[in-house]
Amino acid sequence: NNGVSINIRTNPIVGGGYVSNVVAATYNPGFLGQAFHYSTDAINTGGTTSVGTNDYYATLGVRPDLQFGSNVNFSVAYWIRLPQGYGVGPEYGGGGDLPFFTDAKGSEGNSGYVFAPAYAYGTANPNPGINNDPTAWLGCWSFTIYGGGNGIRIYGNNAGAYPGTINDGNWHHLVHVFDRVAGTAVTYLDGRLNFGVKQAGTTLTSAGNINTGLPATIGQDPTGLYGEFGSADIDELGVWRKALTPLEAASIYVAAATGNLSYDYVDISKLTVQSLPSSQIKLTWAFGTLQAAGNVQGTYTNVTGAVSPYMNSATAGRMFYRVAY
Whole-number average pLDDT of the chain: 88
Q: Can you tell me the distance from the alpha carbon of 67 to that of 287, in angstroms, rounded to the nearest whole number?
A: 11
DSSP assignment, residue 106? T
State pLDDT tens for residues 270-297.
Answer: 788 888 877 788 888 876 789 999 888 8
Q: Can you tell me the distance from the alpha carbon of 319 to that of 322, in angstroms, rounded to the nearest whole number?
A: 10
Record the pTM.
0.79
Name the 3-class secondary structure at 206. Answer: helix
Name the 3-class secondary structure at 171. Answer: coil
Q: Can you tell me the distance from the alpha carbon of 321 to that of 298, in angstroms, rounded to the nearest whole number?
A: 10
Q: Can you tell me the distance from the alpha carbon of 232 to that of 40, in angstroms, rounded to the nearest whole number?
A: 10
Helix (H) or strand (E) holding 293, with range, is strand 289-293
Average pLDDT score over residue span 223-248 = 94
User: Contact, 149 vs 122, CB < 8 A?
Assistant: no
User: Contact, 111 vs 238, CB < 8 A?
Assistant: no
State pLDDT tens for residues 165-213.
Answer: 999 999 999 999 999 999 999 999 999 999 999 999 999 999 999 999 9
CA distances from 90 to 211, 219, 230, 310, 311 (A): 35, 21, 12, 57, 61
State pLDDT tens for residues 128-149.
Answer: 654 556 667 788 999 999 999 9
User: Contact, 236 vs 78, CB < 8 A?
Assistant: yes
Quickly list DSSP for 37-102: EEEEEEEEEETTEEEEEEEEEEEEES-GGG--TTT--EEEEEEEEPPTTTTS-GGGT------SEE
